[in-house]
């Protein structure tokens, strides 16, 4: 189904699955607009967690009894479901971690420390999340590699001419956000992957802000690695996903050692388990993985094209309404070119003050640098206020946001 033809979401029906949205904050109806940080969790996903602990709570791959077998099957099925969700070639390419950051570190340590050296370059962008920027920065310091950064234009898009200049024969890894968590920019990750592969470099795509709200096909992108987190897509905290091409995961040594990731252990040496288990040391994220399966069920029942279109409509509406004020600056591309978030500042109002005032009106947003301090330096501001939308948000909630912002403008100015 094309996004332009996607039928509207039945928001009222969806909201019924999220009791938290019926809360009041400071005597006002809660308007939850901090979804880029963490989304809310619907009842079917909560029930999947409760069902695991009530009926078949057990460790996986370690017991022959009934409960262990049931838990093992559900956990393995969750890998299969995630593989289908992102277009991977089987569960062997899907590693469960605790979040996107751990997925990033797994590749950085398991691949980067071994493969990078003096003269190698890691190409990132000025809009990268700290999870990527800090991780590759520290790996570069340990290996002698160099980090280089693709610049952005005045509307928050990547300068692709600059990318072509930076990605060259010395490039070993290109690490890029699929979607900016601050600007709402959707990056041309497939084009960047082509550039990298032309120079025999690899591509790591941070999909934390993309997998929750749009169809993702890792094969079409030709990503070597792709990562995202369950808690941003209706799932629980404590579950992340690392997709990696099977060949690369087979060549990499594990990052963590311990139980379950081994095949044979002697006093002299050890050999590793098959994929993906060799990267899932110790008792894994069993309940969380099963709940992620349920979250994907929920999203696919709605339809990822419909989720994307719903978010884009809300973001465009919020962008248009906020930019009606001369003293409000919205960062990133125009309203029709962004995902479901808007980061902004009001002249004379610090982002933290804005967030506190919005909270008085029951509007939950994020204020600060959003783990993108270098990007905010490029933008010329230490912080911004970010409102981010998801499938259960409404135009009326955008109006509530804008009305509260206007109250703050009048209070300060």
The per-residue pLDDT for 5 is 47
Same domain, 201 and 294: yes
Which one of 256, 281, 300 terminates a domain?
300
Read out DSSP for 216-270? --HHHHT-SEEEEEGGGTTS-TT-EEEEE-HHHHHHSPPSS-SSSSEEEE-SS-E
| CA distances for 291 relative to 50, 168, 273, 394, angstroms | 9, 42, 25, 26
251-272 mean pLDDT: 93
Asked whether residue 232 falls in the same domain as residue 323, the answer is: no
Neighbours of 24 (CB within 10 A): 9
**Distance of alpha carbon 212 from alpha carbon 136, whole angstroms:** 24
Q: How many C-beta atoms surround the C-beta of residue 274 within 10 A?
A: 9
As a whole number, mean pLDDT of residues 243-255 equals 96
pLDDT tens for residues 29-53? 999 999 999 999 999 999 999 999 9
> What's the CATH number where 61 sits?
3.40.640.10
Report how far residue 42's alpha carbon sits from residue 60's, in angstroms, rounded to the nearest whole number: 26
Q: Which residue has the tokens 């950064």?
A: 149
Query: In whole angstroms, what is the distance from residue 231 CA to residue 35 CA?
Result: 9
pLDDT exceeds cutoff 60 at 109: yes
DSSP string, 269-306: -EEEPSTTGGG--SS--HHHHHHHHHHHHHHHHH-HHH
Contact 279, 52 (CB under 8 A): no
pLDDT (tens digit per residue) in 322-356: 999 999 999 999 988 999 999 999 999 999 999 99
Q: Rounded to whole angstroms, how far apart are CA atoms 175 and 179?
A: 12
Q: Which domain covers residue 9, as residue numbers?
A: 3-32+303-412
Q: Is residue 181 part of a domain?
A: yes
DSSP letters spanning 140-180: HHHHT-EEEEE-B-TTS-B-HHHHHHHSSTTEEEEEEESB-
- Of 145, 147, 146, 148, residue with least CA distance to 115: 145
> Residue 19 is encoded by which pair of tokens?
């009791």
Is residue 371 annotated as part of the catalytic site, yes or no? yes
Mean pLDDT of the 363-377 span: 97
Per the CB < 8 A criterion, the answer to whether 245 and 197 are in contact is no
The span from the CA of 291 to the CA of 241, in Å, is 13
Catalytic residue among 371, 378, 381, 382: 371
In a domain, 213, yes or no: yes
Rounded Cα distance between 394 and 392, Å, is 7
Cα-atom radius of gyration of the chain, to the nearest Å?
22
* pLDDT at res. 335: 83
Question: The domain spanning residue 9 has which CATH number?
Answer: 3.90.1150.10
Residues 262 and 281 grouped into a single domain: yes
Same domain, yes or no: 212 and 244: yes
Helix (H, G, I), strand (E, B) or coil at 116: coil
pLDDT digits (tens, 9 = 90+) for 55-106: 999 999 888 899 999 999 999 999 999 999 999 999 999 999 999 999 999 9
For residues 324 and 374, what is the distance between their CA atoms, to the nearest angstrom? 28
Evaluate whether 52 touches 386 at the Cβ level (below 8 Å).
Answer: no
Q: Which among 300, 315, 330 is the end of a domain? A: 300
Q: Which residues pair with 262 in a beta bridge?
A: 272
Tell me: the pLDDT tens digits for 1-27? 333 446 789 999 999 999 999 999 999
User: In total, how many domains does the chain have?
Assistant: 2
Say yes or no: 209 and 348 in one domain: no
168 in any annotated domain: yes
Based on the domain organization, do 267 and 157 belong to the same domain? yes
214 within domain boundaries? yes
Q: Please name the residues in contact with 20: beta carbons below 8 A apart, sequence gap of 6 or more.
A: 30, 32, 40
| Rounded-to-integer distance, Cα 372 and Cα 379, Å | 11
pLDDT on residue 3: 38
Structure tokens at 322: 């906020």
Arithmetic mean of pLDDT, 167-189: 98
At 281-328, the pLDDT tens digits run 999 999 999 999 999 999 999 999 999 999 999 999 999 999 999 999
Query: Do 181 and 211 share a domain, yes or no?
Result: yes
Taking alpha carbons only, the member of 232, 149, 215, 221 closest to residue 189 is 221
- Count of Cβ atoms closer than 10 Å to residue 347 Cβ: 12
Mean pLDDT over the full length of the chain: 96
CA distance 17 to 43: 5
- Within a domain: residue 39? no
Phi, psi of 335 (to 5 degrees): -55, -35
């Amino acid at each position: 189904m094309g996004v332009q033809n996607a039928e509207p979401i039945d928001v009222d029906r969806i909201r019924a699955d999220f009791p938290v949205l019926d809360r009041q904050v400071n005597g006002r109806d809660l308007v939850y607009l901090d979804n880029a940080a963490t989304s809310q969790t619907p009842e079917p996903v909560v029930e999947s967690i409760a069902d695991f602990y009530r009926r078949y709570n057990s460790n996986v791959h370690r017991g022959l009894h009934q409960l262990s077998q049931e838990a093992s099957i559900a956990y393995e099925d969750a890998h299969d479901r995630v593989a289908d969700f992102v277009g991977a070639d089987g569960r062997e390419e899907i590693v469960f971690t605790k979040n996107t950051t751990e997925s990033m570190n797994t590749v950085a340590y398991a691949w980067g420390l071994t493969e990078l050296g003096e003269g190698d370059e890691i190409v990132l962008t000025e809009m990268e999340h700290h999870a990527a920027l800090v991780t590759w920065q520290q790996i570069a310091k340990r290996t002698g590699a160099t980090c280089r950064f693709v610049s952005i234009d005045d509307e928050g898009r990547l300068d692709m001419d600059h990318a072509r200049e930076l990605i060259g024969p010395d490039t070993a890894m290109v690490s890029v956000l699929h979607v900016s968590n601050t600007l709402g920019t959707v990056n041309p990750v497939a084009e960047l992957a082509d550039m990298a592969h032309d120079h025999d470099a690899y591509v790591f795509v941070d999909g934390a802000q993309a997998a929750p709200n749009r169809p993702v096909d890792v094969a079409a992108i030709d990503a070597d690695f792709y990562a995202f987190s369950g808690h941003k897509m209706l799932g629980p905290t404590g579950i992340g996903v690392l997709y990696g091409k099977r060949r690369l995961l087979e060549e990499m040594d594990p990052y963590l050692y311990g139980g379950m990731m081994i095949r044979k252990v002697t006093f002299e040496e050890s050999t590793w388990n098959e994929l993906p288990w060799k990267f899932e040391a110790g008792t894994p994220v069993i309940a969380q993985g099963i709940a992620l399966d349920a979250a994907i069920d929920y999203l696919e029942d709605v339809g990822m094209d419909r989720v994307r279109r719903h978010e884009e409509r809300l973001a465009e509406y919020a962008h248009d309404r906020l930019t009606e004020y001369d003293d409000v600056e919205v960062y990133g591309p125009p309203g029709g070119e962004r995902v479901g978030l808007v980061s902004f500042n009001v002249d004379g109002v610090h982002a933290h003050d804005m967030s506190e005032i919005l909270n008085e009106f029951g509007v939950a947003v994020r204020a600060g640098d959003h783990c993108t301090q270098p990007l905010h330096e490029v933008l010329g501001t230490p912080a911004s206020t970010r409102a981010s939308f998801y499938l259960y948000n409404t135009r009326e909630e955008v109006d509530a946001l804008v009305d509260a912002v206007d109250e703050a403008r009048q209070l300060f100015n």
